[in-house]
Structure 1
Amino acid sequence: MKRLSRPARPPVDPFVLMLLGTVGLAALLPVRGAGAEAASGATTGAIALLFLLYGARLSTREALDGLRHWRLHLTVLACTFAVFPLLGLATRGLVPILLTEPLQQGLLFLTLVPSTVQSSIAFTSLARGNVPAAICAGSFSSLAGIVLTPLLAALLLGGGGGAFSADALLAIVLQLLVPFAAGQLLRRWIGGFVVRHRRVLGFVDRGSILLVVYTAFSEGMVRGVWHRVGPAGLGGLLVVEAVLLAVMLLLTWYGAAALGFGRADRVAIQFAGSKKSLASGLPMASVLFGAEAALAVLPLMLFHQMQLMVCAVIAGRRARDPGAGTPRGTAPPEEPPEDPVRPPVPGSAGSGPRRR
């Protein structure tokens, strides 16, 4: 007699559990006084180190090799940095009905963040899609996000709550762009080491992000910002994020079909174009929002877990599609969740649209 297989449970990202534990620690034991100043300095250094490693890890030349499949990559970039922000702007009409002003600002910031790389690749592979296209598209998005996310924040957040200022611009240049450029310049000498030891350095990535979260939430506790968030506000935020994710998943899937892409490419576009990177967004939020970072990163943390759970279900169903074959290309070795930027494998490129 055949045993019935259990349905796969939606994944709970271990890193999200660590983030929640860090938030709990900040709530119980927030850092204060001289300790807060030391933590702030350490956070500044950690963010710079994080983006130095991003720069050293990303192979710009190999990413640019995918330009011959520009339609697929432009589609993902348009979803990430145009359609998402437009939807984020539309949520302003939900204040104060469903969202408070700080949560809406955090939600808008979420829509400006680049796409993920690792989870986009993993879900594309599971759904038997075009894995090389997902690698290239995610890498393009991460590279573009270094510049586009701060610029979009300047345009869209500058007038709402003062999240962007001359000081924030200087901090972005010194803490994000300069280390990233230095990593690119040093890649010739340290790139091989960074790629070979990416698992070990992944702990540095995640440790830096946890420090950013602890410092931000500690400052939020000391300043009393959490008194501005109630159960109704969190419930409204979850509803809006669920609708936002559903809209993007539908737009990327059916929009790619309307543009003439084949099934494998539609899978890559859906998973790369509907996601947001927690690892890239948290450090940027710390630089942009300062004392308000605790509220600003909350929508991103919730959206990250939501996208993992929903996309795991979708990927499993896509894998059982009648037209699904084996994945195009092979997924890279499994790594800890949310390795922010991975170098594309040589020859990784999307296949471009197919004529119907």
Structure 2
Amino acid sequence: MKVFGLKIDGYLVLILLVAALATVLPARDDAAVWLGLVTKVAIGAVFFLHGARLSREAVIGGLMHWRLHLVVLGATFAAFPLLALSLASLPAAITPPELAAGLIFLGCLPSTIQSSIAFIGIARGNVAAGVAAASASNLLGVFATPLLAGLLLHAQGGVSAAGVLAIVLQILAPFVAGQALRPWIGDFVARRNAILSRFDRGTILLVVFVAFSGAVVEGVWTRLGPLDLVRLLLLCAVLLAAMLALTWFVARALRFSTPDQIAIIFCGSKKSLASGAPMAAALFPAAVAGVALIPLLVFHQMQLMACAYIAQRYAARPDMADQSG
């Protein structure tokens, strides 16, 4: 979908429509309780299926390129969280306090898989290394994201240590179960990948509706105004530009080949909505989860537009023109 010449993710538009529906007709009282229970079951199923689908061979095989993976993981789980924490700690005149937790949570998320690989392919980068790096990021994210988010948010009085442990178990237990059963159900799951992808996306829509319902009931839109959203756009733009520049500089400084540089840039600068939405629902109370998702939704669309442009520029580089000739 294109609007004013810009490519807009159609699924993100659907997510925004669901958030708008929750704003107008939020789930309340008993409906909110039941939808919350359904959401928890769906989140467990999502991570169970991720465990069953994630190829251990892709991760293990890619680990041979250890320098590249260390750079990607360092960008994803060290540089990104620290930069997000720095932005979240700015004065209230710059960073809206209501959105600070969402920025920190965004910084702790793993990289995307599907869109990162798609952009690496368009840019003629090292797709195999990208698959391994993105898969390793998501595998580690099951452990690292709740722990990192809990640590950084606990430092600001956000999440208790006991709450983090419960969240890790809620996310990790289904994932480990899926991995353990992969030899028996892996082929079955793979043959139904299209159906299960729709289930993943449907779960995200449910998470967004429940999260925004809770936030609306608690009066989020009385605390957030248009100026807050403008400031969030600028903060997300700074965060994305900084991570793109950092991954580009480090990849060049360490003398990676151009295809490897492309894999590092795209895997090290992007954050996963597919993992982020369920994790937000598990990590935060419903009233807080809706607000925490706002920075992720903004950053997600921004990264897609920026990376689409960068991928096209890489695809048009002179060495590719020479090869095609």
Residue number among 240, 253, 256 corresponding to 1:258 in the alignment: 253
Task: Find the counterpart in structure 2 of residue 353 from structure 1.
Answer: none
165 and 220 in structure 1: CA distance in 2 versus 1, 3 angstrom threshold:
farther
- Measured in 1, the distance between the counterparts of 2:6 and 2:74 equals 28
Structure 1 window deviating more from structure 2 (140-149 vs 247-256): it is: 247-256
Tell me which of the two structures has the higher relative contact order, counting C-alpha pairs closer than 8 angstroms and 6 or more residues apart: 1
1:217-236 to structure 2, matched below 5 A, reads: 217-236=212-231
2:236 corresponds to which letter in structure 1? E
Cα distance per residue 1:83-133 (max 9 Å; x no partner) = 101111211342302212220111111010000001111111111111111
Moved more, 45-54 or 282-291: 282-291
Indicate the percent of aligned positions where both proteins have the same amino acid: 51
- Whether 2:9 is the aligned partner of 1:13: answer yes
Alignment of 1:256-335 (within 5 A): 256-290=251-285, 291-324=287-320
Shift of 1:161: 4.2
Instruction: Render the CA deviation track for 1:131-153: whole Å, top value 9, x for unaligned.
Output: 11111110010000000111111
Matches of residues 122-161 of structure 1 in structure 2 within 5 Å?
Answer: 122-161=118-157
User: Is the 8 Å Cα contact of residues 120 and 266 (structure 2) preserved in structure 1?
Assistant: yes
Aligned equivalents of 2:188, 2:84: Cα separation in 1: 39
**Aligned amino acid, residue 265 of structure 2:** Q
**Higher fraction of helix:** 2
CA positional deviation for 1:55: 0.3
Query: Within 5 Å, which residues of 2 pair with 1:45-84?
Result: 45-84=41-80
Work out the CA distance in 2 between the residues paired with 1:125 and 1:18: 26
Q: Deviations over 1:276-331 (max 9, x none)?
A: 0001011111111112001101000110000000111111111111123699xxxx
The corresponding residue for 1:352 is none
- Separation (CA, whole Å) in 1 of partners of 2:245 and 2:163: 39
Secondary structure at the counterpart of residue 92 of structure 2: coil
Residues 178 and 127 (structure 1 numbering): CA distance in 2 closer, same or farther, change over 3 Å? same
| 1:91 alignment counterpart | 87
Show structure 2 runs of 5+ residues with no match.
Answer: none
TM-score normalised over the length of structure 2: 0.94
Cα gap change, 1:326 to 1:184, in 2 (>3 Å): farther
In structure 2, the partner of 1:30 is 26
In structure 1, the residue corresponding to 2:318 is in which secondary structure?
A: coil
Match of 1:188 in 2: 183
**Distance verdict in 2 for CA 1:92–1:208, change over 3 Å:** closer
How much has 1:189 moved relative to structure 2? 1.1
* Residues 88, 103 of structure 2: 8 Å contact kept: no
Separation (CA, whole Å) in 1 of partners of 2:160 and 2:237? 27
Is 2:103 the partner of 1:107?
Answer: yes
Distance 1:245-1:266 versus aligned 2 partners, 3 A rule: same
CA distance in 1, matches of 2:167, 2:309: 39
Partner of residue 170 from structure 1, selected from 152, 166, 169: 166
- The answer to which of 255-264 and 95-104 deviates more is 95-104
Cα deviation digits, residues 43-79 of structure 1 (max 9, x gap): 0101000100110011224311222110011110001
| SS of the residue 1:324 aligns to | helix
> Alpha carbons of 1:294 and 1:165: their partners in 2 closer, same or farther (altered >3 Å)?
farther
Say if 2:62 and 2:128, in contact at 8 Å, map to a contact too.
no
Q: Which runs of 5+ in 1 are unaligned?
A: 1-7, 328-356
